[in-house]
Amino acid sequence: MAEWNAYYKNEDDEEDQEEGELSGGDYKITGRDSLVFLVDASKEMFIKGEDGEPSNFDMTMQVVRSVYTSKIISSHRDLVALVFYGTEQSKNPRNSFKHVYVYHDLDEPGAKRVQDADALRGSKGAQLAAKTMGSSETSLGDALWCCANLYSDIKLRLSQKRLMIFTCRDEPHGGDSVKDRQARTKANDLKETGVTIDLMHLMKPGGFNVASFFRDIVSPPEDESELGLQLEPCAKLEDLQKRVRAKEQKKRAMARLNLCLGEGINVAVGIYATAVSARKQAPVRLYRETNEPVRSKTRTFHTQTGSLLLPSEIKKAQVYSKKQIVMEKDEVDAIKKFDDPGLVLIGFKPMEKLKRHHHIRPAVFLYPEEDEVKGSACLFSALLTKCSERNVFALCRCIARRNYPPRFVALVPQKEEVDEGKAQITPPGFNVIHLPFADDIRTLDPPQCPVASQIQVDKMKEIVSKLRFKYRSDAFENPVIQQHYRNLEALALDMMAPEDMEDLIMPKVDQIDGRLGPLVDEFKDLVYPFNYNPDSKPAAKRKTAGTGGGAEKKPKVEIPEDELRAHMQNGTLGKLTVPVLKEACKQFGVRTTGTKKQELIDALTERLGS
Amino acid sequence: MAGAKSALVLCMDVGFSMSNSGPGEEPPFELAKKVIQKFVQRQVFAETKDELALVLFGTDSTKNSLDKDDQYQNITVHRHLMVPDFELLEEIENQIHPESQQADWLDALVVCMDLLQTETKEKKCDRLNIVLLTDLNTEANSEQLDVIIENLKQAGITLQFFLPFPAGDDEEGGGDADGRDPGQPGTGKGLSKEQKSGLDMVKHIMLSLDEEDGLGEIYSFRKAIEQLCMFKRIERRPMAWPCQLTIGSCLPIRIVGYKAVTEEKLKKTWTTVDAQTNQKDDVKRETVYCLDDDNETEVQKDDTIQGFRYGSDIVPFSKVDQDQMKYKHDGKCFAVLGFSKQSMVQRHQFMGTQVIKIFSAKDDEHAGVALSALIRALDELNMVAIVRYAYDRRSNPQVGAAFPCIKRDYECLMYVQLPFMEDLRQFTFPSLANNKKFTPSDTQLSAVDSLIDSMMLVEGDDQKDIFKIHHIPNPAFQRHFQCLHHRAVSPGTPLPPMEPWLKAALERPDVISERCQAPLEEIKRKFPLTEVEKKKKLKTSAQIFGKDSEEPDAKKAKGDEEEEEYSLADIAEGSVTSVGSVDPARDFRTLIRKKSLPFGEVCQQLTRRIEQLLSNKNTHYYMKSITCIQAFREQSVKLGDANLYNGYLQSLKRSIPNRGLEVFWDLLVQDAITLISKDEVEGSTVSKNEANQVTPLFKPV
């Protein structure tokens, strides 16, 4: 759901709203993505780790579940299947394969499937698996063949076919060369039909030897390096999750453009959205009687004659100082056109010229497209190397799509980084930072403020140090979206109540208070006068210097409880002033966030009325 | 709001000397007219409430309220104080010409002052301003000068002068002080005696009114045009967002936030009007809902409810329920979750569309000190605050970073939104360094090195930025207003080309283009780039043939299989003349749609293909056959002709045992392909029950 167009949405007129609702994916390729989880169900998979670490099977099921839910949120049209091999029982479309158990056929994931995957987690899950499927001999060849059938049974156009093998056995057939050979043949057949096979090898005592068997099974990595095979087996759930995530999300360019360095020097690049604000999906309209989805059609018609208007029969207009200015629809588009889409290099600047506050949009990512212009990757790589070596960024003019006005962008070099397990943490390429124009920067009138003394600053430093943590960009879930999907899940599965959700972006006030201890009061003593009340409205204008701060008589605003109750019963709370109401709130321990009179009254009534 | 408007008099010299100009130079009159046009244009599009009057002097006729006994002659009040409109623009375009008289510019000034004073009496204006455009070529009577200055001061009227020449090189801080104005025509030296004394008077007035910046309000025509060329950038009054920054439960600091950077949008949007009448009311847009059936049965909006997809399920979920169950929070909030190293928060992870600057609350110096302590502590430790931010109760809370920002004259926190886990896509890309094919050689690298050298956009020891993006006005807005203005004053003519200055502002600076020529040639030699011939491309563009190919178009986002199928059919249409073997089902559908052959004939072609396919005993061919049969069934139902299909299926069934096609038949049964029943097509002789039973009941043993 790379909503590149979403950024521009408001620039167009009302017609675009319709499109917005439908923006399910913004790619030129249509067709579905598909993913088959082929999971080893042998006994070895169920062995629990030391110290109660989850078994490999358990870990795999957790990952499967999380992929299911994330697909539901982000790309519900993708097809996913779950197949076990090495099982006692067999279950597959024509039951022609033994020891292969198709748990979920290739289909869109739904609430039921999440439940199913859930049921296979933990020790209960292991029991369930043993009961329904059991473990027995293995023929990976049959399993792959069966998966091939799953693919061929799909009549939809598939844009990506991926198969992930989860196993902790590097020699699944125990040296049976016939079976090994058969598996290799079937793997090749699959690869020929465009299926990418990945290995998610899991921890095994004695180490997992990829080379002995699986080397010939998996698809070669994109960059022809040995990278894929050097990966260490996954021991931790997090690692596995990350590794699966990285493969499972198909990267698609939002746009393919030329980066023009000069006359005739065009590097083909793809633009990728690496972070897009996830939003609640747009609702679907359903027919009340049957709950079936309805389609909406928007028509433009003439008010008087009632006849439908063709695009040629309408024009666009704006009114300025009572004068209507009319243009053809084409002209409106033409005004926005400055040039054909593309990136044009203007020059380079040192990194410190990129101001942190020049931010108007999330960044996107640039990577060469060798398939479009041969030689792109080499020049791109040279630019990347040199820019990062010299600590400069490239300034470009960017027209992202046809009839989009230009923007300037900074191409900031990013070098590749890998973790200990040789898995990529950051990919090599340029981050594209959109820069603001003069119109986008607002003139503020910064207030004159006193500067803190070093003692005060030092005290705050202590506070800051007490509350240090390591920020990770993937540490916070969006509570709004999580709640929404939990609600949907509860409704879809007829649950009594939605699953509880922890709001990760809520400050852990108690912990913070505990950690800070007396520091808070020490700091407050240093900066705030005695009795300073930050909740009061702009404290009396500039307290006379020298006096002990806010100790001066504040008008008594307290009100006896019975009087307040009387007001409430008579519905005359409104007669009281805001400070009085606020004080009353405090008195009764009513927490209010509002400052409006009505909000205070409501809060009070709620408290006292109950 | 009320009273916050200004009144301004444009006072332009149209006397004969204004038409004088050196060879090849534009006469001052034309330049002055341009200044006025651009200025009025800007006011009109800004739709300000500010009022404007136009006084001309040096006119052949006289029309002003002070006109008495030879006094204040040749001065015309062309337009009284009112909001500028397109009419005024047209008048300036068509009615203002050079005239043949001369008038005292001080007299004209007095007329303007009088006009301002009488016409603003009833209105609340907080600023009064007079703009004088003249070449100072008439001798002015300086007797009254001091009285005039005194009156200006008393009435609080400010003055601006626009002259054909700069106010002088000796004056620092003048309107053109920073301009080295090469080739500025009519510069100081060639001034006449009148102009020199006039200029002295002008300076005297301006300095008497404002000792410090007085001369800053004297401009040259050229400079003014340059500046006015740009449509005023969109300015918005900053909205204060008062809140409390909290650290834990007992450390609040009163703060106020302002949006500092955000992508500005045009205030007005296009409305749709009828092409003939240009009336908005003649056009109505309406959205109707219909069921996804063959008849597209319309349903009323009231008969629809809201639902959401949960994967393959659609969950009805009314708005009321949704509101009830949705995530709720306590509203406005700026709460610290913790502090982290600045290096942990990377620039490219910034989310959202804005930067908010956080200051301490107004008039609360204690909060100021507290916030300052935080800002400085963060700055000294190179840390950043990770905060929960919520604008108000209705908006969704965010997680973000507050960076310390210490400037020479103020300090603040800068808040930017950071991503949620759901927003991130962890893409891996093939390594560039590990791939020998892509590794640049040393000579290639040094070619890039010299390219960077030649294209650095900073110069001097202080690394002065010579291409500041945040000083460029948004070209989209400039172009937009240019076109609107053109259409408003010259309707019926095609839109003008882009203004040259705007085009130039978006290009590489000339110095750079020159400098980088050679390094670019070197790059070209060292890095062979060849466009890959796309065989596939032909196919993809053909797929979307008829729509605009190539472009990633927002409209194509829908990813509808159905749509794609049709477009596939579209391309095939041209060539399909019979049911081929590659995709018989598709060919079959196309031929039926085209109606170029009789139905019976097409069906026969299809069944021939099916028989051909079935002679290969292989699952793949079986699948293909089934697709054909499905297509056969679907089209027969559509055309209401069941007999051919039913007949074929029955005969096929009979032949299964002899041909050993049991496996195939099983597949067919699994796919629930049945005969066409009476319920579906009237002419069918098969009842629904029979249809459903026919295939599964059949046991070919």
Q: Does A568 touch chain B (CB under 8 A)?
A: no
- A:B CB pairs within 8 Å: 745
Whether residue B609 contacts residue B602, with contact meaning beta carbons closer than 8 Å, is answered with no
Nearest to A348 among B399, B452, B558 (CB): B452
User: Maximum Cα–Cα distance for chain A, whole Å?
Assistant: 95
Closest among A76, A72, A69, A77 to A32, alpha carbons compared: A77
Query: Could you give the CA distance from residue A421 to residue B493 in angstroms, rounded to a whole number?
Result: 67
Residue A28 is among the residues annotated as catalytic for this protein: yes
Would you call A222 an interface residue with chain B, using a CB distance cutoff of 8 Å?
A: yes
Cα–Cα distance for residue pair B616/B624, rounded to 1 Å = 11
CB A430 within 8 A of CB A412: yes
Higher per-residue confidence, B249 vs A234: B249
Q: Could you tell me if A115 lies within 8 Å of chain B, comparing CB atoms?
A: no
CB contact under 8 A, B561 and A149: no
| 3-class state of residue B241 by DSSP | strand
Report domain extents, chain A.
32-248, 253-277+341-440, 561-609
* Winning range, highest mean pLDDT, from A10-19, B421-430, B511-520: B511-520
For B551, nearest residue in chain A (alpha carbons): A402
What is the C-alpha to C-alpha distance for residues B172 and B158, in angstroms, rounded to an integer?
21
B541 phi-psi bin (left φ>0, alpha ψ -120 to 50, beta other): alpha
At the topology level, CATH places domain A32-248 in Rossmann fold (3.40.50)
Structure tokens at B618: 């292989």
Contact B317 A491 (CB under 8 A): yes
Report CA-CA distances (Å) from B386 to A220, B243, B272, B359, B403: 41, 16, 45, 17, 9
List, as ranges, residues 253-292 from A with C-beta within 8 Å of B. 254-256, 261-267, 272-278, 281, 283-289, 291-292
Average pLDDT over residues A221-240: 62
How many Å apart are CA B142 and CA B663, to the nearest integer?
113
DSSP string, B180-228: --TT-TT-GGG--HHHHHHHHHHHHHHHHH-TTTGGGGEEEHHHHHHHH
What are A174's two structure tokens? 């125990």
> How far from chain centre, in Å, is Cα B499?
19
Give the pLDDT of residue B296: 77
Rounded distance, CA A71 to CA B421, Å? 14
Residue B86, CA atoms < 13 Å, CB-side half-sphere: 16
Name the least confident of A143-147, B90-94, B691-695: B691-695
Chain B: closest CA distance from residue A587 (Å):
18
Taking the C-alpha atoms of residue B403 and residue A359, their distance in angstroms, rounded to an integer, is 13
Please tell me the predicted confidence (pLDDT) of residue B420: 93
> Can you give the pLDDT at residue A156?
77
Q: Is A118 on the interface with B (CB under 8 A)?
A: no
Distance from CA of A43 to the nearest CA of B (A): 32
Evaluate whether A52 touches B577 at the Cβ level (below 8 Å). Answer: no
Q: Rounded to the nearest 5 degrees, what angle is found at the Cα of B458, between the Cα atoms of B455 and B460?
A: 120
Select, from the ranges A238-242, A495-499, B494-498, B637-641, the one with the highest average predicted confidence (pLDDT): B494-498
Closest CA to B252 of A528, A11, A496, A609: A528
Q: How confident is the model at residue B664 (pLDDT cuts 50, 70, 90)?
A: confident
| Dihedral, CA of residue B168, residue B174, residue B177 and residue B183, to nearest 10 | -40
Report the pLDDT value the prediction gives residue B311, as an integer from 0 to 100: 75
- Alpha-carbon distance of B293 to A287, in angstroms, equals 12
- The pLDDT, as a whole number, for residue A4 is 34
pLDDT band of residue A22 (cuts 50, 70, 90) is: very low
Q: What pLDDT score does B69 carry?
A: 80
What is the mean predicted confidence (pLDDT) over B510-522? 93
pLDDT in tens, A401-428: 888 999 999 999 999 988 776 778 889 9
Tokens, residue A334: 């033409």
Element (H, E) at B260: strand B251-262
pLDDT value at residue B284: 84
B165: exposed, middle or buried (C-beta count within 10 Å: 0-12, 13-18, 19+)?
buried
Q: With H, G, I as helix, E, B as strand and everything else as coil, classify residue B267.
A: coil
Q: Looking at the partner chain, which of A94, A303, A539 has a beta carbon nearest the beta carbon of B284?
A: A303
The amino acid at A226: E
**The pLDDT of residue A399 is above 90:** yes
DSSP-assigned beta bridge partners for residue A343: A259, A398
Q: Test A358 with B470 for CB contact under 8 angstroms.
A: yes
Q: Is A299–B555 a contact, with Cβ atoms under 8 angstroms apart?
A: no
Residue A29 and residue B509: Cα distance in Å, rounded?
39
What is the rounded (10 degree) CA torsion for B435, B440, B441, B447? 180
Q: What is the pLDDT of residue A610?
A: 53
What share of chain A has pLDDT > 90, as a percent?
29
Instruction: Give the model's pLDDT for residue B648.
Output: 87
**Residue A74: which H helix or E strand, with range?**
helix A56-74
Asked if pLDDT for residue A249 goes beyond 70, the answer is: no
- In angstroms, rounded to a whole number, what is the distance separating the alpha carbons of residues B388 and B42? 41
> Side-chain half-sphere of B566: how many Cα atoms within 13 Å?
7
Query: What is the pLDDT at residue B236?
Result: 66
Q: Which residue of A has its CA nearest to B368?
A: A449
Please give the CATH number for the structural domain made up of A561-609: 1.10.720.30
The verdict on A196 touching B (C-beta cutoff 8 Å) is no
Asked if A439 lies within 8 A of B498 by C-beta distance, the reply is no
Q: Is residue A2 pLDDT above 50, yes or no?
A: no
Q: What is the pLDDT of residue A20?
A: 29
The token pair at B613 is 């396919």
Task: Kindly determine whether residue A529 and residue B366, on different chains, have CB atoms separated by under 8 Å.
Answer: yes
CB atoms near residue B560 (< 10 Å): 13
- Residue B211's pLDDT is 67
Which tokens sit at A526? 């240093």
Kindly determine whether residue B419 and residue A275, on different chains, have CB atoms separated by under 8 Å. yes
pLDDT, greater one: A189 or A245: A189
> Of B303, B290, B305, B564, which is closest to residue A297 (Cα–Cα)?
B290
Give yes or no for A19 touching B (CB within 8 A). yes
Tokens of A198: 């990945």
Q: Confidence band (pLDDT; 50, 70, 90) for B243?
A: very high
Could you tell me the pLDDT band of residue B208, with boundaries at 50, 70 and 90? confident
B366 against B227, higher pLDDT? B366
Average pLDDT over residues B592-597: 80
Residue A266 confidence (pLDDT): 94
Structurally, what CATH architecture does the domain formed by A253-277+341-440 represent? Beta Barrel (2.40)
Report the C-alpha gap between A568 and A584 in whole angstroms: 12
pLDDT number for residue B673: 82
Q: Do A28 and B44 touch (CB under 8 A)?
A: no
pLDDT at B693: 61
Give the number of other Cβ atoms within 10 Å of residue A27's Cβ.
Answer: 18
Confidence of residue B49 (pLDDT cuts 50, 70, 90): confident
Q: Can you tell me whether residue A293 is helix, strand or coil?
A: strand
Q: Is the pLDDT of residue A492 over 60?
A: yes
The reported pLDDT for the residue numbered A557 is 61
Of A589-598, B84-93, B407-416, B531-540, give the lowest mean pLDDT range. B531-540
Q: How sure is the predictor about B605, in pLDDT bands with cuts at 50, 70 and 90?
A: confident
Q: Which residue has the tokens 């590990």?
A: B434
B548 in helix, strand or coil?
coil
According to DSSP, the β-strands at B6-13 and B51-57 are parallel
Best to test chain A binding among B265, B310, B477 (most A CBs inside 10 Å): B310
Tokens 């300086």, located at residue:
B142
Indicate the residue type of A502: E
Sheet holding A32-40, edge to edge: A100-107, A79-85, A32-40, A158-167, A195-201
**Quick one: pLDDT band at residue A595, thresholds 50, 70, 90?**
low
B68 touches chain A (CB under 8 A): no
- Digit-coded pLDDT (tens) for B255-272: 999 999 999 888 888 888
Compare all CA atoms of chain B with the CA of A514 and give the residue at the minimum distance.
B248
Residue A555 has pLDDT above 60, yes or no: no
Cα gap B133→B124, rounded to integer Å: 26
Distance CA A362, CA A431 (A): 10
* Confidence check: pLDDT of A137 > 70: yes
Which has more confidence, A105 or A573? A105
The CA-CA-CA angle for residues A450, A454, A455, to 5°, reads: 110
What is the structure's pLDDT at B256? 94
More confident residue, B335 or A572: B335
**Do B286 and A299 make contact, defined as CB atoms within 8 angstroms?**
yes
- Residue closest to B234 by CA, chosen among B478, B580, B416, B501: B478
Mutate to test the interface with A, among B444, B461, B469, B525 (most CBs of A within 10 A): B469
User: Residue A212: which pLDDT band, with cuts at 50, 70 and 90?
Assistant: confident
Residues of B in contact with A401 (CB under 8 A): 551-554
Considering only the C-alpha atoms of chain B, give the largest distance between any 2 of them, rounded to a whole number of Å. 126
Q: How far apart are CA B399 and CA B389, in angstroms?
A: 6
pLDDT at B285: 83
pLDDT digits (tens, 9 = 90+) for A49-90: 777 788 889 889 988 988 888 888 777 778 899 999 999 888
Question: In angstroms, what is the C-alpha Rg of chain A?
Answer: 31
Higher pLDDT among residues A143 and B596, named by residue: A143
Helix, strand, coil % (nearest 5) of chain A? 35, 20, 40
**Rounded CA separation A511/A486 (Å):** 27
Confirm if B390 and B333 have CB atoms less than 8 A apart. Answer: yes
What are the structure tokens assigned to B350, written together? 């910034």
ipTM above 0.85, yes or no: no
Q: Which residue of A has its CA nearest to B429?
A: A427
With a cut of 70, say whether residue B547 has pLDDT above it: no
- Chain B residue numbers with beta carbons less than 8 Å from the beta carbon of A334 are 495
Confidence check: pLDDT of A1 > 90: no
Q: Is the pLDDT of residue A522 over 90?
A: yes
What confidence tier does A26 reach under pLDDT thresholds 50, 70, 90?
A: very low
| Banded pLDDT at A556 (limits 50, 70, 90) | low
